[in-house]
Amino acid sequence: MNPDQPLLCSDCSIDPSSDTSLSSLRRGSSGCLCRLASYPYSKVASSFSDTEDTFSHFVNSAGSRPRFTSLDSHYFHGSVFGCSSKKVVMETNHSSSEVTKGSFEISGPARYMSHERRASVSGIEKSRSQRIRHKSLEVFEFLSSEENARTIYINDPRKSNDKYEFTGNEIRTSKYTVITFLPKNLFIQFHRLAYLYFLAIAALNQLPPLAVFGRTVSLFPLLFVLFITAIKDGYEDWRRHRSDRKENNRHADVLQGASFQAKKWKKIQVGEVLRIKVDETIPCDMVLLRTSDPSGVAYVQTMNLDGESNLKTRYARQETTMMDFESGTVSGLIKCEQPNRNIYEFTAAMELGRQKIALGQSNIVLRGCQLKNTDWVVGVAVYAGQETKAMLNSAISPSKRSKLEGNMNRETLWLSVFLLIMCAVVAGGMGLWLGNHKSKLDTVPYYRKRYFTSGANDGKNYKYYGLPLEIFFSFLSSIIVFQIMIPISLYISMELVRLGQSYFMIGDTQMYDADSNSRFQCRSLNINEDLGQVRYIFSDKTGTLTENKMDFCKASIYGKNYGNAAYALDCSTDDASDVLVHKSDITEVKEGRRWKTKIKVKVDNELVSLLHKDLVGKEREVAHEYFLTLAACNTVIPVITQSPAPTNSATNECPVIDYQGESPDEQALVSAASAYGYTLIERTSGHIVIDVHGEKLRLDVLGLHEFDSVRKRMSVIVRFPDGSVKVLVKGADNSIFSILSKASDMVDPGGPSHDIKNSTQNHLNEYSSMGLRTLVIAAKNITEAELEEWQQSYAEASTSLNDRVAKLRKTAALIESNLNLLGATGIEDKLQEGVPETIEALREAGLKVWVLTGDKQETAISIGLSCKLLTLDMQQVIINGNSEEECRRLLADVKNKYGIKTVDQKDARKKIIKNGDNKDDGSSLSSNNFPDNGLQASKCINKTGCNSQQPSGKATGMKNTPLALIIDGTSLVHILAKDLENELFDIAISCKVVLCCRVAPLQKAGVVDLIKSRTNDMTLAIGDGANDVSMIQMADVGVGISGQEGRQAVMASDFAMGQFRFLKRLLLVHGHWNYHRIGYLVLYNFYRNAVFVLMLFWYILCTAFSTTSALTDWSSVFYSVIYTSVPTIVVGIFDKDLSHRTLLEYPKLYMAGHRQESYNLHLFWLTMIDTLWQSLVLFYVPLLTYSNGPVDIWSIGSLWTISVVVLVNVHLAMDVHRWVLFIHLATWGSIVITYICLVILDSIPRYPNYWTIYHLATSPTYWLTIFLVTILALLPRFLLKILQQMFWPSDIQIAREAEKFGKLSYHSSKPKQGVE
């Protein structure tokens, strides 16, 4: 580009005969025309904002005609300051330099205006300049008046930091230091109430009257758990420290004196000037001052910040792009807002000498971004270290708690009640015993007031506190003895089991996506078991059900439909050389080269012929303007690389264009335009260049209004080389049709009125019914008066401090009106592989799938049919209301028509607990269908189930008609904001499918909350984009898709995967396994500890209600920590009730989680009854066996210890479904370890149980007693299991038996790879 040529000046916009040369034009401020004008094309996207606006600011062109470039919507960016023709002195540290400032009234003739017109416009511009200057100064004064405004002195870090004490650039993501680790980690761990409970127990045991166990022994369980958790936390924090050191010791070039020198990141300070080179990472948040591009543009990749891989444009203000940094005299002042987490907004103002410049979001690059396609940039650090926006946004989302864990707390409360009752019984009994034996306390066992021993204490009295205090102390001592009734080891066991489950989920090769090279991710370890109880799935459409890889398929131009004829591949691909008749017309440019795009596009031969005919008529003109709009109305950045040309090409190499776009839609449209000969090849800060069939067309960009969810359209204002100005618009059909010209000149003179508009509408309906995404294309010519009116309105709106967004939308409406219809586009977003089969399987599993999409209704319905979400036998209930009253009426009509009754929310919450809805949908596989006790299960377990009852989602009044609710975003606005939510809830839960169209991100979260807040059903939300974040965080389980729209959904999710089809395996296989394992783990831990405590309780009742124990202190402590903890963890990780093939083949088995078969209150009480029986057998069988034998109490205690360990491990073995080596080692190994520990403890002479195991083990009675205890204790459980499986088998039992005897049939004869 010629450096003397104004950037915004068209090739022929300056009269060659004019006496005003290009070199005579002065470079001005942001209000003046210059080759360094700033034009941000970056689109600001926020997952929590409904609007994304990028706006425009003034620049002047040659002559007095005003020109525009785009600017950001945020405060102070793009504010235009008037400039005088005087020379302004810019102060520096030790010298001054003069910069000549141009004025709005640039001298010299204008090409397109008369002398009078120029005089008039000149006057207008003068008054406008004064008005804008006044508003801009008002903005700067507003910032200056802020008490907490952040002031940075450019290139003077000492002055900046001495005055304001900003943080350094060193970051720390670690929690601890060597000094703070112990106290801080303990403080965090003791946030768990269970830990506080056991700390209190250990503290009580230190008191002399309550010293039941040894003081050291009583601390062991708590210290063990704290130690293990501390090791885990310490290792994780060590990894953070290592990552921090690596990050802080990276180097960047910092201006020191008159040169840039390398400096560690951690030593960078606010106010320092940095130089970043291509592909380097930005070390701190910095305002751009200069770039390698003369126009001040820089390209950055924000992948590390928001997950989006597309390039973003950032700009240096033109007033700073000529700074001489090597002179060492750079200075200035920046006032900006205090550090905040909003990565899409930046409010600041810069002062260079007497000049005040507004800064916005497009002028700042954030820490973590990478510089791309720009050789270097220079900027000043404004936020460093922990104050950078990236670090402020690094907080993790609040953790979720599983539903089963919540129910577990309920049962823990019941165990606490049992504990208090037992302690009260012991204390009360002890009080009665002391009262009855008051006169014998000197001689009776268990309670003696006096020592009867030889030695110093002989004859001395014990400390006797009196009856009331003795009862109280007995109560506290009982709590210490029975403390493990609340299983402390359960918490750490659950964490370890979840960790093991996550390891196998991550390693499942069936959930690995080769296309994106992404494995399954477990981002939360707290809710693995919730995957087995999901009832509602809320799914995004684009990028989740579909690939989000857009293909341009259909075009409606001037009322004619293109795309029905035979397609040919775009000749930009190598395999289309002999397909297209008109190949040479669209591939050859002037130099005999062709452009190649990375996206393959099919072209229509008829449309190609139209574009290459020498037609002068309206149709050719509209088609030309149509593709110009596709190429120009976007924010796509063309990145051109060279690649070897095909062998049949006459050139050595041909350019390849990689379009970096904000969305796949834009990339598809620009690639389609290129396929038809309109190739976008250059975009700078103020103009774009389009190759039109080999001829380069340069368009000056005067303004841009980006797409937002309120306007639902985007427009760009461009000046053509002939001086004409047009606005090119694309947007949603309902948005564009409402602003078309009533007296449209697009109507074919030879046809009836409005044929083109009606034909286009028909084509849109056709495209939507095919499942295509649609956009409408329109344009119009702009007069000078309209342009000036828009200038003035925009200048006022863009500098407004109040309601800026609303005012800018109003400004956009001035230019986006009375448009001429050009046509429409149809883009195909193909379904992902396996989506129909996945949705079908999930529905068979009893899950309700709701789709929440921003697409139009027809498109959503078509996609719903193609993915088998909607079926032809469903009655579609459509609610499209434009007011509260209309929505109320529509909801009432639906309820009356289909006989839908109002649901009591309390009943809705209890429904799943009672029967899991299985009675309504026939999901239960009754054993009556299996005359051979389940051996013929394969005849009845099939994808349609055995029960002939009607499936759920059928209205009461029309039982044979399943309903599908289809509702739009406008209706949801009125329903969710008013008192109509309950009406919508009644209808929604009566439908098999709910399809929400045109919904905003917050509406998605509102729909999820509609179910979550009114039922106990588990909800899962799955999406791939930033607009799905609120929905993902609202649901009980959030799943992110690693798709085409960045990683924001992944970063906010609990689980992440590459394809929607993996959801089937995640829920039906891993979800089922995880729920079953964790449910059994909790019940078993309750049983294991309760049977031990009850055994101690029976012993205390037989020892005058004293808190003495027959077991050694170490045996009591080791029981729940060492003797029996490992088998439960191993079984919780490895056990599988059914194979993955069976679970995938018969999805109805998933409903066991809906019915809470593995963990519920009924099972808890049955377990406690069984525990009571086992504890009685455990206590009395050894006691009666040795009642007359020559054994002491320590020998009986040793027998009880080994008996209870053998009993609980055999109990566990009875419930193991699939034995593997690790389960064998853990189960039988724990018994061996118990014997080893007993031998060691009984070999220590100082313990009272010295040598007892050696005497007992030599007696056959000892071994027979252990065997008898095990048989008698487990016999009722064994018989009950047999009766239940014979007469009342569950679906899981039937399937397991059929699987064992080979009675199940699989559609796939070859076993699938993966976790088996």
Task: Supply the residues annotated as catalytic.
Answer: 540
C-beta neighbour count of 146 within 10 angstroms: 13
Selection from 383, 299, 378 nearest residue 334 by Cα: 383
Q: What DSSP element (H or E) covers 119? A: helix 115-145
Amino acid letter, residue 314: R
Helices within 249-383 (DSSP H only): 303-306
CA distances from 811 to 705, 731, 798 (A): 10, 17, 10
Tell me what percent of the chain is helix, strand and coil, each rounded to the nearest 5: 45, 20, 40
CA dihedral 78, 82, 87, 89 (to 10 degrees): -50
Give the N- to C-terminal CA distance of the chain in Å, as an integer. 63
d(CA 537, CA 552): 30
Q: What is the DSSP string of 1272-1310?
A: HHHHHHHHHHHHHHHHS--HHHHHHHHHHTT----S-SS
Helix axes 981-989, 1001-1012, angle to 10 degrees: 70
User: Which candidate, 281, 275, 276, places its Cα nearest to that of 256?
Assistant: 275
Encoded amino acid at 516, one letter: S
DSSP for 306-333 reads HS--SEEEEE--TTTTT--GGGT----E
**927 C-beta neighbours (distance < 10 Å), count:** 20
Alpha-carbon separation of residue 36 from 225, 287, 296, 685 (angstroms): 64, 16, 6, 8
- Residue 1046 corresponds to which tokens in the numbers above? 């960045």
Instruction: Look at the block and give the residue holding tokens 């094309």.
Output: 41
Residues 852 and 538: beta-carbon distance below 8 Å: yes
Q: What would the 3-class secondary structure string for 592-653 be?
A: CCCCEECCCCEEEHHHHHHHHCCCCCHHHHHHHHHHHHHHHCCCCEEEEEEEECCCCCCCCE
Structure tokens that stand for 1267 in this block: 């065997």
- Residue 483's Cα: distance from chain center in Å? 41
Q: In which residue are the tokens 């009850």 written?
A: 1094
CA-based R_g, the chain, Å: 39
Whether the CB-CB separation of 18 and 93 falls below 8 Å is answered with no
Contact of 1083 with 1212, CB cutoff 8 Å:
no
Q: Give the count of beta carbons closer than 10 Å to the beta carbon of residue 1112.
A: 24
Q: Coil, strand, or helix at residue 1230?
A: helix
Q: Return the bridge partners of 641, or none.
A: 656
Nearest one of 32, 4, 9 to 112, comparing CA atoms? 9
CA atoms within 13 A on the CB side of 1002: 10
Tokens of 233: 């936390």
Phi and psi angles of residue 300, each rounded to the nearest 5 degrees, phi first: -130, 155
Structural tokens at position 321:
């792009």
Give the C-alpha separation, 1064 to 1141, whole Å: 12
Task: Tell me how far apart the alpha carbons of residues 656 and 405 are, in angstroms, rounded to a whole number.
Answer: 56
Find out whether 625 and 566 touch, Cβ atoms under 8 Å.
no
Q: Find tokens 């798709």 and name the residue.
A: 1043
- Output the six-digit token pair for 721: 């080389």
